[in-house]
A and B are shown apart, each in its own frame.
Chain A
């Protein structure tokens, strides 16, 4: 069966015969970069449309259905609208920081695409500290938000940024500890190792209740980290109008918007990789023929299926739950999630040492 790695190897071999090694590397990097940007833009459009359709479905209405077949081109039309809109910089704003902030948000989101395995052997950068890289880079996104809130010279923005800072810094701890549970079980930070360790069963099935707890904490924490409802205090519409991006318009606003959706995609992709085996097909013990059928489904479909399931879960939260208050939000993290995830990590470690998992 053909795979992405075969194509890539063949292409690399062919290219290195045509030009010298330096140029080969440069051309390959450019191709990978263009691929990442294309994926970034496409994912943004798809996720925005998906969000609107999911919301419409939950709210007994139709959602976008005018532009293109079944409204599929709606988000494209919105993008064009945002592109041609004037990007206003307020008079009192710190112009440099104000204009740089959306790019930081976007660049962070793009950097996070690097270590994700989209299919079997289809990974931009399989670095040996993959999980650490993801947690480290994702914490930079708070700088973009704080910068936007501070530079806007708007009290709503400032309050939004303050909330966002407190929130992201707090919830990173639980998210990190939940991820550590899987790292402890696998014994490696490399994402491909984590996926390969799940060849005979996903961690969510192999890891008993502690992994379930880790998964629940992970989902709650990443929902908070990406500023999605019910933890969308940074942009709490009814309280702070639009929070940290109140003053942004046009494409600068769109970059924040896009970065939010890409971040949702990435955290769900990480969740799918850690807990649901990434691109690994679903196997049941000794059911040879069943497993064989499952193997025939392409690995990219497995990966995107799991990721979009988690994205749907996060959208489901958004359209059904009310928002928390800021003190309740921090209480939830520091009084409940963090102690639970610490104890849970100990349990997982014990389980890994004694080999109780399957």
Chain B
């Protein structure tokens, strides 16, 4: 028998409502997300996300780890953009130490970030098509993602949780093959991008499933704290790379992708177009990686001065913030992560009320939820 939560029992008191537990094990939630859906026939009356199934108390854990160590734990939060999480932590520590990062390290960091963003969006694209019942795009997306993973494996030594960013730069220099393989990847990606349009974007069934579904107005996006592609799909400018540039993003040429429709298709198009912007950034940098150190000189034991530090980056899912309170010791006194997935998930109920079960799956797909990121 499935465990009946208190809320489920309360809600069942209402006559005539059908209450369904979607998750914690369900093909559409891509992780251990538990949604309690109140249905009237096929129409959704209420969606209530229940969290905590994969809570590992990472923030508390980080308090007992040194500044070098805790970065590794953040790879396990949003595992699809672990580089970018690490980057945010490294930035925050560097802010505290007031370190100057060598230009080579900065370029490598940005390159890795953008590759991660593409890989993350690739996986999202495949998983979302699979949510809508098309299985084949998943494998096509993984073909491209695989070549990014190979690049990562060569340079960082790992395919998923890279832990490549360290305070002061990157852990070690890029692999000699790195530039060649990234260029190969760009050629591969450009030769395959038309398949994406033919298979999914241009498909009439797909467009019917996405257009007008899960509408989120710009005001609601702001009040729910949505960031990233979810906010940009509603026309809210929220790209941290443009608004609060870090590293060398202010010297790069790229556009903030904005769609104004606010429906699932707008969010979908934001991500598709963002991948092309990332390719554009990589193309600008890949031939001009400056020579020099890949890591600034740092002390063996890092100590942040007493105070509070905050840094934010744009991950594949939105704004990721790291807030460190330091008492001057070797470990942080308190750490708080602002994860994009949590705020984006909170908008789900508002977006989907009155829709059908199929709409829930479509809208949830475009939120691009990574559950360990929400639960931490």
Instruction: Name A residues whose Cβ lies closer than 8 Å to a Cβ of B.
Output: 55, 58-61, 155-156, 159, 163, 229-230, 232-233, 236-241, 319-328
Contacts and interface: CB of A to CB of B under 8 A. Distances in A.
B131 A238 contact: yes
A155 B18 contact: yes
A322 B132 CA distance: 5
Contacts of B138: 59
Q: Identify the interface centre among B357, B359, B360: most chain A CB within 10 Å of its CB.
A: B357
Contacts of A325: 208-209, 356, 358-359
B148 to A, nearest CB: 17
Given A159-B357, A237-B27, A238-B361, A328 B208 contact: yes
Nearest to A319: B136
Given A55-B135, A320-B134, A323-B132, A239 B205 contact: no
Given A60-B140, A61-B139, A236-B133, A322 B357 contact: no
Contacts of B205: 230, 321-324, 328
B42 A326 contact: yes
Given A321-B205, A322-B205, A239 B134 contact: no
Contacts of A238: 27-28, 130-133, 361
B206 interface: yes
Contact of B133 (A55, A156, A237): A237
A60 B143 contact: yes
Interface of B: 18-20, 26-28, 42, 129-136, 138-140, 143, 199-200, 203, 205-206, 208-209, 356-361
Contacts of B140: 59-60
B358 A156 contact: no
11 contacts: A59-B135, A60-B139, A155-B20, A233-B358, A238-B28, A239-B358, A322-B134, A322-B200, A323-B134, A323-B205, A326-B356
**Interface class of chain B by DSSP:** helix
A321 B361 contact: no
Q: Which 4 A-B pairs have the closest CB atoms?
A: A323-B133, A59-B139, A325-B358, A322-B132
Contacts of A240: 357
Given A237-B133, A238-B131, A325-B359, A156 B20 contact: yes
A3 B199 CA distance: 46
A323 B359 CA distance: 11
Nearest to B30: A238
A229 B133 contact: yes
A55 B28 CA distance: 21
Contacts of B359: 325
A319 B135 contact: yes
B203 A322 contact: yes
A338 B348 CA distance: 36
A212 B359 CA distance: 34
Nearest to A229: B133
Contacts of A156: 20
A59 B134 CA distance: 11
Given A322-B206, A323-B134, 12 more contacts: A55-B136, A59-B135, A59-B140, A159-B357, A163-B42, A233-B358, A238-B132, A323-B209, A324-B209, A325-B358, A326-B358, A328-B208
Contacts of B20: 155-156, 159
A231 to B, nearest CB: 10
Nearest to A331: B208
Contact of B361 (A55, A239, A319): A239
B134 A321 contact: yes
A312 to B, nearest CB: 15
A155 B42 CA distance: 12
Q: Identify the interface centre among B129, B200, B205: most chain A CB within 10 Å of its CB.
A: B205
Contacts of A233: 358
A232 B143 CA distance: 27
B134 to A, nearest CB: 4
B26 A321 contact: no
A321 B135 contact: no
B27 A241 contact: yes
A93 to B, nearest CB: 13
